[in-house]
Amino acid sequence: MNFKVKTANLVKLKSQCLVVGIFKNPGKAKGVRLSASAERIDSSASGQLQQILNRGDVDGGVGSTLLLYDVQGISASRLLLVGLGDKEECPRNDYRKAIVAATNLLVERKIASADFAILDSVSDSHIGDYARQIAEAVHEATYRYRETQSDKKPMPELSRIGVLVNRRDTDAAQMGIDRGIAIANGVSFTKTVANLPGNICTPGYLADRARELARSHGLKVSVLEEKDMEKLKMGSLLSVSRGSREPAKLITMEYRGASQDRRPIALIGKGLTFDAGGISLKPAAQMDEMKYDMCGGASVFGALIAASEMKLPLNIVGIVPSSENLPDGAANKPGDIVTSMLGKTIEILNTDAEGRLILCDALTYAKKYDPESVVDIATLTGACIIALGHHASGLFSNSDSLADELLAAGARVDDRAWRLPVWDSYTKQLKSNFADLANIGGRSAGAVTAACFLQEFAMDYSWAHLDVAGTAWSSSSPKGATGRPVPLLVEFLIRRSEADNAGSGTS
Ligand code: BES
Ligand code: MN
Ligand code: ZN
């Protein structure tokens, strides 16, 4: 998608489709309030627009649309009215919904190029932010998974989007659009690798994609093979991969946007390219969805893509431990005891609690980078879906300030998380008769005890864990990866980079 900021005259602009906002008028039953852009068009069209709207076909509700042809007094060949709701300034999330609705209509009608004149109702200080929403929402509406269907869904014809602004707003809008594109690129990448099936998206495949990013995005990539992991004594991670014919990989991607001496933020993503449960085999129903057990890892790729395209002044290290979890003669058996890289022994009471087994060694490995903060992202527990459904990711942390940063970032971009506790009293549920820790903590509070397990390996730094089991993909309408929590992570990184700069600017 090609975006262009334009300062053109609205009524003179030759456009295949001009998109302008209308508002719902809460006072009147049928009344629609015109945005400033719509107002201008209406006066150039000698009131034709108002006349059409008086017929009451569209109410201005969020995402309502009306496509008009042959509107007088403008050079555009089509005019698309899009409802922005009844608030003075459309809230960010409604704004996105409206743009998605408008974009869907443009795609349906096979319109190749359109100009959005919908920043007119946005206050000056929000121009960049709302321009960013336009870029993100247009990408969201035009994303298509096409990798594995021979009868390929056609790509939307829509390929050029103009964004109309006042001259003084061009820089802010351009910056917002650039950010929106970077985030959308991260989200799309995450969705696509997550949607790929387990026989294509293997640990080796993910490692290859990381190596590509080294070239395309200037990341420093290294991939540890199983023999390297043996040297590092990653007995827990390796025990999961032993039951699979696909060799495990530990992928590290470094983005350096700040000076060498700045401590990095580490993002660690669970990369189970297929989780059958191992010997504690999962039931057959919906087992296909366990190809999504690498969504945490995919979100680390996505966040790094966005951060590097935005050139954020930060250092970030992304770590993706990747393996399959399958039943096999060499697989973990219930009761087996393994020794983690940290030295703690783990009694594997359920081989399906494998995510924590690979993450714990990655958490220990991360210490090598002396991280300022560590955030791990994992489709870790079905119990998290029971607790929070598909609305919020579970957030767990040993640091109140880090937890607050992540909650605020998620709320801001409508990619929400909700905090749950990691108290010692829960950790006690992980007591084992034969090892330092058991890998499960019983039926109650399953999402919490999984997080408590990870916390045992995250003692040396400020750490947070996002359980994205309920948010990383949708099982229906349409089935597919959501790209979450890339928006949350990127917002968190943006805010960190801004806080850093404010700090260094005053010192
Ligand atoms: N990847 C699953 C968690 C999961 C299940 C995510 C369903 C999304 C949907 C994880 O590896 C797992 O199997 N967890 C077990 C833990 C249990 C054995 C303590 C679970 O949630 O059932
Ligand atoms: Mn599992
Ligand atoms: Zn799993």
Give bridge partners of residue 322 from the DSSP assignment.
249, 271
Q: Is the CB of 382 under 6 A from ligand 1?
A: yes
Which of 357, 341, 342, 318 is closest to 222 using CA atoms?
A: 318
Cα→Cα distances 351→186, 322, 348, 504, Å: 32, 16, 6, 47
Q: Angle at Cα 355 formed by Cα 312 and Cα 183, nearest 5°?
A: 25
Give bridge partners of residue 21 from the DSSP assignment.
82
pLDDT tens digits, one per residue of 482-502: 999 999 999 999 999 998 766
- 9-26 mean pLDDT: 96
Q: What is the pLDDT of residue 506?
A: 37
Place of tokens 């079905």: 382
Q: Do the Cβ atoms of 113 and 15 come closer than 8 Å?
A: yes
Q: At what angle do helices 127-142 and 170-195 cross, to 10 degrees?
A: 30
The residue type at 9: N
Q: Do the Cβ atoms of 419 and 392 come closer than 8 Å?
A: no
Which residue has its alpha carbon closest to ligand 1 atom 5?
382
For residue 146, pLDDT over 80 is answered with yes
Q: At what angle do helices 355-365 and 446-455 cross, to 10 degrees?
A: 30
Classify 417 as helix, strand or coil: strand
What is the C-alpha separation between 455 and 399, in angstroms, rounded? 11
E strand or H helix that includes residue 116:
strand 113-117
Q: Nearest ligand to the C-alpha of residue 350?
A: 1
% of the chain residues with pLDDT over 70:
98
pLDDT tens digits, one per residue of 258-299: 999 999 999 999 999 999 999 999 999 999 999 999 999 999
pLDDT tens digits, one per residue of 405-462: 999 999 999 999 999 999 999 999 999 999 999 999 999 999 999 999 999 999 999 9
* Ligand 1 atom closest to the CA of 439, numbered from 1: 19
DSSP labels for 321-350? EEEEE---TTS--TTEEEE-TTS-EEEES-
CA 480 vs. chain centroid, Å, equals: 13
Residue numbers annotated as active site: 282, 356
What is the C-alpha separation between 228 and 241, in angstroms, rounded? 14
Q: Band of the pLDDT at 33, cuts 50, 70, 90?
A: very high
Place of tokens 């309030």: 33
Phi-psi region of 251 (alpha: psi -120 to 50; beta: other; left: phi over 0): beta
Q: What is the pLDDT of residue 500?
A: 75
Q: How far is the CA of 353 from the centre of ligand 3 (A)?
A: 7
Q: Band of the pLDDT at 151, cuts 50, 70, 90?
A: confident
What is the C-alpha separation between 245 and 243, in angstroms, rounded? 7
Q: How far is the CA of 366 from the centre of ligand 1 (A)?
A: 24
**Which tokens sit at 236?**
């827990």
**Which tokens sit at 220?**
């420093």
Residue 243 DSSP symbol? T
CA 139 vs. chain centroid, Å, equals: 13
Mean pLDDT of the chain, nearest integer: 96
- For 399, other C-beta atoms within 10 Å of its C-beta total 15
* Ligand 1 atom closest to the CA of 355, numbered from 1: 11
Q: What is the pLDDT of residue 58?
A: 94
β pairing state of 2-6 and 336-339: unpaired
Q: How far is the CA of 373 from the centre of ligand 1 (A)?
A: 26
What is the C-alpha separation between 406 and 464, in angstroms, rounded? 9
pLDDT tens digits, one per residue of 317-351: 999 999 999 999 999 999 999 999 999 999 999 99
Q: Do the Cβ atoms of 19 and 115 come closer than 8 Å?
A: yes
Place of tokens 């359980």: 467
Q: Is the CB of 355 under 6 A from ligand 1?
A: yes
Q: What is the pLDDT of residue 226?
A: 98
Sign of CA dihedral 58, 61, 64, 67: positive
Going through 383-451 in order, the beta strands assigned E by DSSP cover 393-397, 417-419, 437-438
Going through 314-440 in order, the beta strands assigned E by DSSP cover 315-325, 336-339, 345-348, 373-378, 393-397, 417-419, 437-438
CA 425 vs. chain centroid, Å, equals: 32
E strand or H helix that includes residue 231:
helix 226-231
For residue 355, pLDDT over 60 is answered with yes
For residue 505, pLDDT over 70 is answered with no
Q: Do the Cβ atoms of 120 and 21 come closer than 8 Å?
A: yes
Q: What is the pLDDT of residue 153?
A: 76
Q: How far is the CA of 206 from the centre of ligand 1 (A)?
A: 21
For residue 367, pLDDT over 70 is answered with yes
